[in-house]
Structure 1
Amino acid sequence: GSGLRTASASPGDRPVRPRGAGKTVLAPVRIADAATVRLLRPGDLVDVIAAEETMSGGEARVVARGARVTEVPEPVDGADDGGKDDGGTGDSGTGDSGTGDGGALVVLSVPRATAAGLAGASATARLAVTLC
């Protein structure tokens, strides 16, 4: 009985497959425009675009295609109220309170390699999404 369990855990008994091949992971991604994120629902498919400013101007590139939205977390208390606490100036006119710096979080299901690309892009660029 118990000898079979230990035998099945041996490396020789595992199916031959490159580590992480075909696996999807959950990637939390901060999208620059919080209002856009509020339009998303779990199950939606999106493309994620990284917009970077360079010496020669702005550049945009797609960093994830057909990523499935798995979760749209509610903002943490006070995260969207930053402008309101400063006299409400962040909420007047444009309606994009909290989008300048923080944006909004969305959780996407993507292949492992794509998740690494999203993480790298989010460190250097503003991310946007388009619905597929």
Structure 2
Amino acid sequence: MTARSARLRRPVAALSAALATGLGLLALRPSPPAAVRVLAAARDLPAGTVLRPDDVRPVALPPDAVPAGALRSDAAGRTLAGPMRRGEPLTDARLLTGGLLRGYGAGTVAAPIRIADAGVARLLRPGDRIDVLAPPSPDAPFARTVVSSVPVVAVPKTPSAEEGALVVLAADRTQAAALAGAGPSLSITINSPN
């Protein structure tokens, strides 16, 4: 053994030991948890939004951060029960379930109406109670009340403000018939909560 190889033996042994220790620690380090893909709001969404594919986006969350009931796919066509903030994971608790009329009892129908002022619809949320008014006519110089204190069940997005705004109400069959016969250009008043 030469003097030079004897001098290098200790540093090479120390380097080898450090490398083996580092590789051993890497092997013992836990692997990162697998991410879970869930759906989240792509932007702020108001209550009553009927979800379209571009309203939600997939996000990857660590398993511990996934809320119970998180949806992973197939949210299109479902209606939000409350507002959501951009990035908030979508859960089953955020959606109306069992159809629009769950909990309203037998004989209740979903009665869609179109109100003339689309801006007024932005004030409405599911659960609000409204009166629906028909415009004045030659026989009646003032607006007439078509139905009173009917609950709003959804306020779907309207493609164009020129078309007015669509509002879905929970009504009995007599009220639904009166609404259907009231014609276009309806207006509303919002009742105070009880």
TM class, shorter-chain normalised? 0.5 to 0.7
Rg comparison, structure with higher value: 2
Q: 2:145 aligns with which of 45, 55, 62?
A: 62
1:47, distance to aligned residue in structure 2 (A): 0.5
Which letter does structure 1 place at the counterpart of 2:187?
Answer: A
Which letter does structure 1 place at the counterpart of 2:156?
Answer: P
CA distance in 1, matches of 2:151, 2:144: 18
- Aligned residue in 1 for 2:188: 129
- Identity rate of aligned residues, in percent? 47
CA distance in 1, matches of 2:140, 2:172: 30
Which letter does structure 2 place at the counterpart of 1:120?
Answer: G
- Aligned residue in 1 for 2:136: 52
1:59, distance to aligned residue in structure 2 (A): 2.7
User: Is the counterpart of residue 115 in structure 1 residue 115 in structure 2?
Assistant: no
Where do 4+ consecutive residues of structure 1 move more than 6 Å?
A: none
Query: Which structure 2 residues correspond to residues 73-112 of structure 1 after superposition, within 5 A?
Result: 73-76=156-159, 79-80=160-161, 98=162, 102-112=163-173
SS of residue paired to 1:43: coil
Where do 5+ consecutive residues of structure 2 fail to align? 1-105
1:38, distance to aligned residue in structure 2 (A): 1.0
Across the aligned residues of Structure 1 and Structure 2, the Cα RMSD in angstroms comes to 1.6
User: Is the counterpart of residue 38 in structure 1 residue 99 in structure 2?
Assistant: no
Q: TM-score scaled to structure 1, two decimals?
A: 0.60
Report the CA distance shift for 1:51/1:113 in structure 2 as closer, same or farther (over 3 A).
Answer: same
CA distance in 2, matches of 1:121, 1:58: 15
User: Is the counterpart of residue 29 in structure 1 residue 88 in structure 2?
Assistant: no
Structure number with the higher strand fraction is 1
CA distance in 2, matches of 1:53, 1:60: 8
Which letter does structure 1 place at the counterpart of 2:108?
Answer: T
SS of residue paired to 2:174: helix
